[in-house]
Amino acid sequence: MNEKDKNKFAVIMYGVADNFGGQIAKEGLKIRFEALKDLEIEQISQAATYLMNNREKDYPPVPTVKEFRDATEAIKGPTLSIQSKVEIEIDKIQEHLRRYGASKPFVTDDEISMHLMTQRWNYQQWAKTVLTAELQWWRKEFRQSYEAYSESDKVQYLDAPESIKKLTEGIG
């Protein structure tokens, strides 16, 4: 959220408080805004609706910040680990290979799998040449590549000018 979302946030919070028979002080509203600032206003709105429809406890009368965060997680549903995702993708690729061989291109909505099966392995060429005995090794290599690729977006790059400044401070 950003500053322009403050009014909508206030309306949502006052509405939720009213629904549960509670009140929010202006200071409490400011603190909640800061605590939930990393979420989008749409997520806050969805969480509020979810809480009004699903909240079972009576106390505190106004849902806490943690309840809002839990509600956003409940709306998203459980997330799979990278290891689970990669195993599912490997199974999809191998099932596609078993059913269609190289006659039909492999397509999936998983961005990493598509990247790997077009850039790392060209599916059509790979499907023509891979031997059944090699699939266990391919599975291992695909798993490693998938996991490495999924971690690559988490790489933190140093701010070059700031890093250079720090390195050169001690130089005369």
Residue ranges per structural domain of the chain: 3-76, 82-152
- Phi, psi at 126, each rounded to 5°: -60, -45
CB 63 within 8 A of CB 124: no
Flag whether the pTM goes above 0.85.
Answer: no
Asked if the model's pLDDT at residue 148 lies above 50, the reply is: yes
Quote the percentage of the chain above a pLDDT of 90: 70
| Model pLDDT for residues 70-84, shown as the tens digit of each residue | 999 888 876 778 889
One-letter amino acid at 70 equals D
* DSSP calls for 67-97: HHHHHHHHHH-PPPPHHHHHHHHHHHHHHHH
